[in-house]
Amino acid sequence: MHELLLNSVRSKIAISDEELKKLLTFFFPRKIRKRQYVLNAGDVCQHLTFVESGLLRSFYADDKANEHVVQFASEGWWITDMGSFFSGEPAMYNIEALEDTEMLVLPRTSHDMMMDAIPAMERYFRLLLQNSLVASQKRLIRSMKDPAESRYLTLINDYHDIANRAPLHDVASYLGITPETLSRIRRQLSQRKS
């Protein structure tokens, strides 16, 4: 039960079977349906979310109500509004289910208790944060220097399942292009394969 989470932890840190059992006591299972929100912008983010099955997206809406996708999270991924979770300030992002989703949530109070009870988890979360920072910096640089087709090919190469599961307009938003541009790119790539 909850093998994805346990495998994620084991892949990054040395942890005993006893600690793994204790770890699960800090999480709460939750199921949501497609188009339900895990977090609304303006609310304070109260938990970290680990996706067991399904697909979530994190996005913000600008002053003209245009949505900008910041992150996707599928099986084995974490998602939250870090700034809100750690500061207690209102969230900048919305988190919405793109598919029916099963997840494990880790409330802030449980997170703090878990860190005290299982010190190795501090290293796990530090490694996650480091990896997230590196990925965000790479994405920022790619968005400034790479053409749209190259950004799409990187997404396909690195996250093929998300590119195929997420709606076209969300993929385009994540890449910083219009859905029409993404359709043209996909058509051109398909023609080159023929």
| pLDDT tens for each residue of 33-68 | 999 999 999 999 999 999 999 999 999 999 998 999
pLDDT confidence of residue 1 = 64
One-letter amino acid at 38 equals V
Exposure class string for 92-110: b at 16+ Cβ within 10 A, else e: ebbbbbbbebebbbbbeeb
Q: What is the pTM of this model?
A: 0.93
Collapsing DSSP states into helix, strand and coil, what is residue 167?
Answer: coil
pLDDT confidence of residue 6 = 94
The CATH number that domain 3-132 falls under is 2.60.120.10
Give me the residue spans of the domains in the chain.
3-132, 146-189
**Structure confidence by residue, pLDDT tens digits, 115-169:** 999 999 999 999 999 999 999 999 999 999 999 999 999 999 999 899 899 999 9
pLDDT confidence of residue 103 = 98
pLDDT confidence of residue 193 = 80
pLDDT confidence of residue 79 = 97
